[in-house]
Amino acid sequence: MNILIEEHCPDALQVVIRCREADAQVQQLKAHIALFDNRLQAKDGDGTRLVHTRDVLYFESVDDRTFLYTADAVLEVGYRLYELELMLPKQDFLRSSRSQIVNIQRISTLHPELNRTLTATLCNGEKLTISRKYVPHLKRLLSL
Amino acid sequence: MTNTKQEWTRFFIWLRNGFCFVSTWLLFLVWLLCKAGHTYMIPADTIAAVMLGSLGGVLLFCAVFTKVFIRKFGFAVRFTLFMALTVLYELGFAHAALSHLHEQANAPMLFGSAASSGWLVFAGIVLVMYGISMGIYAVYRKKKGALYTEALRTYQKQCQ
């Protein structure tokens, strides 16, 4: 793979992938580049669309498939949770349980439960459980 | 803020462990006094069994409470366990003491016809104490939730 940088272009920053065929590897590369701009490529029915990470409420893994939830849509992404954990900005996203990553910026309230978990109410009213294992990390993040 | 919290936590751990240590030795000394013949109404053997049991319990509590229980269980589980063990201990103690007092009458305060109201009062006290404690904990959780939410908002503002 050759990487070329052309300077002094009049247009805005542009990345062009030239290839023989847009196979899975190329699609993955495209998704990585999109994430550089804080956008994730997600499947929406038949097509794909780019979703800005700030619009994501949380990611959830169900039956080996990963979904992202926005305020009005559920889309499938081609990454595992551990990959997303590495890729997403650490100050904005937190692993909240074995199967979920939550956008901290989209949490509106936190409430401790009897079993030492935390219930996070998201801006759309949805409630997520932050499991005991991940509560200390959140507390460290919030300087508690 | 975190440092202050850690210092307070450490203080309470030392306070609890110190209290357990002192109580253990107090119980041990009471048992020694009873053995020496200064009993009031409970025989020394009964005291020996109960006090040694509590001695073991308190030592176990000191040894494993912070390391094992606090890490593994939430407050509700720990408190329920504590209440259950306390009730068992009180029952054992009452049984031992009252059986001795009413040896001839087969402990009417525990097993007699008049015992049911006594048991009801005992159960009532335990349940009311349990309810009040859980109520206090619910208020505490609510306050803690407000504190967490406040910290979360501050964090969100910092990140923007």
Q: Is A119 helix (H, G, I), strand (E, B) or coil?
A: strand
Q: Do the domain assignments include residue A5?
A: no
Give the number of domains in chain A.
1
| pLDDT tens readout for residues A71-97 | 888 999 888 898 888 888 888 899 999
Report the gap between the CA of B145 and the closest CA in chain A (Å). 4
Predicted ipTM?
Answer: 0.76
Q: What is the mean pLDDT of residues B79-101?
A: 77
Q: Do the domain assignments include residue A144?
A: no
Is residue B14 predicted with pLDDT exceeding 60?
yes
Per-residue confidence (pLDDT) for residue A138, from 0 to 100: 92
Measured between CA atoms, the residue of chain A closest to residue B79 is: A114
Q: Which residues of chain A have pLDDT under 70?
A: 34
Q: What is the mean pLDDT of chain A?
A: 87
Structure tokens at A39: 């956008």
**Is pLDDT larger for residue B41 or for residue A57?**
A57
Q: Do the domain assignments include residue A50?
A: yes
Return the bridge partners of A103, or none.
A93
Q: Do the domain assignments include residue A48?
A: yes
Q: Do the domain assignments include residue A97?
A: yes
| Domain harbouring A36, CATH code | 2.40.50.40
Give the structural domain span for A37: 24-103
Tell me if A112 and B151 make a contact (CB, 8 A cut-off). no
Dihedral angle sign, alpha carbons of residues B72, B132, B151, B8: negative
Q: In chain B, what residues touch A54 (CB-CB under 8 Å)?
A: none
Pick from A66, A60, A77: nearest CA to A122: A60
Q: Is A42 helix (H, G, I), strand (E, B) or coil?
A: strand
Q: Do the domain assignments include residue A142?
A: no
Q: Do the domain assignments include residue A133?
A: no
Q: Do the domain assignments include residue A113?
A: no
Q: What is the mean pLDDT of chain B?
A: 75
Q: In chain A, what residues touch B147 (CB-CB under 8 Å)?
A: 144
Q: In chain A, what residues touch B156 (CB-CB under 8 Å)?
A: 104-105
Tell me if B152 and A91 make a contact (CB, 8 A cut-off). no
| pLDDT tens readout for residues B116-141 | 777 788 888 889 999 999 999 999 99
Q: What is the largest CA-CA distance in chain A?
A: 60
**Are the beta carbons of A112 and B141 closer than 8 angstroms?**
yes
Per-residue confidence (pLDDT) for residue B123, from 0 to 100: 85
Q: In chain B, what residues touch A144 (CB-CB under 8 Å)?
A: 1-2, 147-148, 151
**Which among A110, A114, A141 has the least Cβ separation from residue B149?**
A110
Measured between CA atoms, the residue of chain A closest to residue B155 is: A142
Q: What percent of chain B has pLDDT over 70?
A: 61
Tell me if A110 and B148 make a contact (CB, 8 A cut-off). yes
